[in-house]
Amino acid sequence: MVDSQYFLPNDIGVAALDCVEAFGLLSPQEKLYAHYLSHASWYGGLAVLLQTSPESPLIFVLLQRIFRKQSPSQLEVVATAAGLSSEEYQAFLVYAAGLYANMGNYKSFGDSKFIPNLPKEKLDALVRASQAFKDDPTEMAALWDSCSCPIYSLMDKQKQLGLGDKGITTYFSGNCGMEDAELAQKFLDSKKLSAYNTRLFKRENGDKTCYEVRLASAVKKDCAVEGECDFCCGCFDFEGKEFSVKRGDYAPIMERVCHYLQKAEAHAANDNQKKMLEEYRRSFSLGSVEAHKEGSRFWIKDKGPIVESYIGFIESYRDPFGSRGEFEGFVAVVNKAMSERFAKLVSSAEVLLPELPWPREFEKDAFLKPDFTSLDVLTFAGSGIPAGINIPNYDDIRQSEGFKNVSLGNVLAVAYSTNKEKLTFLGEEDKDLFVKWKSPSFEVQVGLHELLGHGSGKLFVRDVEGKFNFEKNAVVNPETGELISSWYQDSETWDSKFSSIASSYEECRAECVGLYLSLIKDVLSIFGHEGQDAEDVVYVNWLSMARGGLLGLEFYTPESKSWRQAHMQARFVILRVLLEAGEGLVTLKEVAAADGKPDALVALDRAKIRTVGKDAIRRFLCKLQVFKSTGDVDKGRALYEHYSTVGESGTHNFLRLRETVLLRKEDRKMFVQANTRINEESVELIEYEGNASGLIKSFVERFHDSDKLEADLLELRRLDSSCWC
């Protein structure tokens, strides 16, 4: 029996990344720009196959060839005839979807290998019975023979990514170890070369060791003159070893990236975007990281674009040495409809802020809209999709020129939503409501949290000249009934004073503002919810907060008694406050499930939200704000730590509940992304079903030069393997 961590379960969550509303509202020019950038991203993302494992490009080509000839439903007929059970065929579809979603046969989160959850003989029978095999038996047999063993192999070294004996990597040739990586880094540093877009191949030539540093570039020819770019190709002696710097890694892929970036340039919205793309093109064409940095500088200057993107060798988590970047490319777009609703919320701030449970004097003199951008992802190519981005990674640029911090709305929405069968800890009737209203209620909560949550409340400050920003003899602390007696001294800030609890406490305050203001009819109207629908949105919003508090326990470490995630801690704190309110508002029970394993059930009494619930949040939120405004770190910390404690409280054993949460944790979801296609001058969005077949189809239809592309990938793979000793 294979350990289940090495395959993806048949019922793994697969969800379509919804971008319809946002994409539909783009102008024709914005759509073209997004279309060409998406193409550049998808083609570039194929480099990840070559960055993951030797067999990944082979498996990709094998799957593309099989599914280009037969759709998943057509192939199912073949599978049944070849003796596969429906579970075995589903396991194959899940494996294929997993390979596409991770751009290789290692999980992008956790870096462990996954293999198909069906016997090798069955997969062998299916491959040989496929139409693709019948049409071209020699080629397909060769392809299948070259990858069938590595697909299934779980030798210790192959179980995870790593260098030398520790695991598999293709950032280095197989004969490299940590000492080679260290020496190469010294060499690169001496040449002021960045490792981001490189790989290292070692060859023993008699008694001489030669290292080849390969730069990702469309141009294969080495640079002829010094100064043509920021480095010089060629051979160098370094500490008794030979290093040769060569261009042309992933050349046919980089060529396609450059081609589409150039196409996108014609539809750029402004000069910054044009210059940014020009520099990226120079980077991918010549292999220059300096050019990519230049492009990133223009990218930072392109503030609040309708179509946002970033592309290149970015994150270095998967290089065992930690300095080589994995390719990623994304295109995300402003959801104009959502932005409009958020803008309405901001323009209602004047009437909404006085509804918050603190005295007028505790509110800012003028409302300042927080810097918050929510984008919907159209395309995210690479090994996985994050819920937010904070780039560039170049430290020198971050410090002097800044960075961008963006929340990816439709990714978050999918991550928190789920199909009914997968919903944990809720009663049957709540599950239906949850599925229906989770996304709309999430949007209301996000808007309130980000804009009026983080945007509200005042800090009392005594400045360097001794002046106060409030009337010292007039402001009364509503908690004590006395004049306020503490404040921030000039140099003190919220973060410096509340240090370790500052971020979670602030998230908790913003979440409470969201819960509290979501009760207001006019707020729900802004988001288009009236009558019973509005009531359901409120109910699901509060219910999902209570459930979120329970799920949050996953991010608590009992050994160190610490929380690892600010938002999840905040939700747990709110759950505690709601439970404490009593009167049957929220009930949390440990139950025995049909599968015999421990389970839990969260319930919320709808009739008590506006009475017991509102009152509990009002009192707690007021305390949070008063301690924050007055810089009363002692009381603030005591309050927050009291509710953050994970132990036994009343009838609840939260440590035991945490075990249940871990036991019933859902696997990471896979996302199905749309394609774009030019249709008589206009760009069409093509969507796919949110399941393994939909994910497979999206990849089959994504590349329009498939024959040539697959040949190029096999050739790149062959070039790599000639260097693996």
Query: What's the CA gap between 80 and 275, in Å, rounded?
Result: 54
* Closest CB to Zn ion among residues 238, 372: 372
Residue 8: left if φ>0, alpha if ψ -120 to 50, beta else—which one?
beta
**Cβ contact 349:455 at 8 Å:** yes
> Closest separation between CB of residue 389 and Zn ion, Å?
16
Residue from 450, 507, 511, 710 carrying the catalytic annotation: 450
> Closest separation between CB of residue 371 and Zn ion, Å?
12
Cis peptide before 392 (omega within 30 of 0): yes
Query: What's the CA gap between 611 and 607, in Å, rounded?
Result: 8
| Contacting Zn ion within 314-353 (CB under 5 A) | none
**Cβ contact 461:490 at 8 Å:** yes
Q: Determine how many CB atoms are found less than 10 A away from the CB of residue 502.
A: 19
CB within 8 Å of 461: residues ≥ 6 apart: 468, 469, 487, 488, 489, 490
Binding mask 467-506 for Zn ion (x = CB under 5 A): ----------------------------------------
> Closest separation between CB of residue 505 and Zn ion, Å?
11
* Closest CB to Zn ion among residues 283, 456: 456
* Closest CB to Zn ion among residues 510, 683: 510
* Closest CB to Zn ion among residues 140, 451: 451
The residues pairing with 563 across neighbouring beta strands, listed in sequence order, are 556
* Closest CB to Zn ion among residues 119, 388: 388
* Closest CB to Zn ion among residues 62, 448: 448
> Closest separation between CB of residue 491 and Zn ion, Å?
25
Query: What's the CA gap between 210 and 195, in Å, rounded?
Result: 18
* Closest CB to Zn ion among residues 346, 601: 346
Site for Zn ion contains 306 (CB under 5 A):
no
> Closest separation between CB of residue 640 and Zn ion, Å?
15
**Cβ contact 469:641 at 8 Å:** no
3-state secondary structure of 592: strand
Task: Confirm whether 30 is a catalytic residue.
Answer: no
**Cβ contact 301:289 at 8 Å:** no
Determine the length of the chain.
725
Helices 72-81 and 120-129, axial angle in degrees (round to 10): 110
> Closest separation between CB of residue 566 and Zn ion, Å?
8
**What is the 3-state secondary structure of 618-687?**
HHHHHHHHHHHHCCCHHHHHHHHHHHHCCCEECCEEHHHHHHHHHHCCCCCCEEECCEEEEECCEEEEEC
Query: What's the CA gap between 234 and 80, in Å, rounded?
Result: 56
Q: Degrees (nearest 5) of the Cα angle 261, 262, 263?
A: 90
Token pair of 414 as six digits? 């999918």
> Closest separation between CB of residue 633 and Zn ion, Å?
20
Q: How many chain residues touch Zn ion (CB under 5 A)?
A: 2
**What is the 3-state secondary structure of 383-445?**
CCCCCEEEECCCHHHHHHCCCEEEEEHHHHHHHHCCCHHHCCCECHHHHHHHHHHHHHHHHHH
Residue with tokens 């949390």: 588
* Closest CB to Zn ion among residues 88, 450: 450
| Contacting Zn ion within 606-625 (CB under 5 A) | none
Question: What phi and psi, each to the nearest 5 degrees, are found at residue 403?
Answer: -155, 175
Stretch that binds Zn ion, among 29-37, 268-276, 456-464, 507-515 (CB under 5 A): 507-515
Query: What's the CA gap between 102 and 100, in Å, rounded?
Result: 6
CB within 8 Å of 722: residues ≥ 6 apart: none
* Closest CB to Zn ion among residues 356, 510: 510
Among 47, 223, 378, 510, contact with Zn ion (rule: CB under 5 A) = 510
* Closest CB to Zn ion among residues 233, 510: 510
> Closest separation between CB of residue 37 and Zn ion, Å?
29
Residues forming contacts to Zn ion in the complex (CB under 5 A) are 507, 510
Catalytic residues: 450
